[in-house]
């Protein structure tokens, strides 16, 4: 099952790379760009019996290895055959180990 993990710095954490990108864009004439937040993107192909099982496993991997939950948030998306046919994706978001997940369909 194909999964995706998006990791970004939490809004309260200063993003020096994003600031550098904004400054560069403004010097190039892109003055409409107000903010940039950089992050990381991962694709994981996992064996799971259901989308819930895949989402749970990948969220655990993100929490333990891919993201630093102190300063980073992550979002997990799980694509199954049903969602690939309709163009939808199932996802869960978590900003820290104590926050609630939200599912988008």
Q: Report pLDDT for 15.
A: 97
Specify the CATH number for 2-104; select among 3.40.50.970, 3.30.70.20, 3.30.1280.10, 3.40.190.10. 3.30.1280.10
Q: Report pLDDT for 95.
A: 42
Beta strands at 102-104 and 90-94: parallel, antiparallel or unpaired: antiparallel
Average pLDDT over residues 71-87: 72
pLDDT digits (tens, 9 = 90+) for 27-62: 999 999 999 999 999 999 999 999 999 999 999 999
Which of the four pLDDT bands, split at 50, 70 and 90, describes residue 81? low
73: exposed, middle or buried (Cβ count in 10 Å: 0-12, 13-18, 19+)? buried
């Amino acid at each position: 099952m194909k999964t995706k993990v998006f990791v970004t710095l939490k809004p309260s954490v200063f993003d020096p790379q994003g600031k550098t990108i904004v400054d560069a864009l403004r010097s190039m004439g892109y003055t409409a760009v107000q903010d940039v937040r950089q992050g990381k993107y991962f694709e994981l192909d996992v064996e799971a019996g259901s989308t819930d099982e895949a989402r749970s496993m990948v969220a655990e991997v993100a929490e333990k290895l891919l993201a630093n939950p102190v300063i980073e948030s992550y979002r997990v998306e799980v694509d199954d055959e049903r969602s690939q046919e309709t163009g939808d994706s199932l996802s869960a978001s978590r900003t820290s180990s104590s926050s609630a997940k939200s599912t988008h369909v």
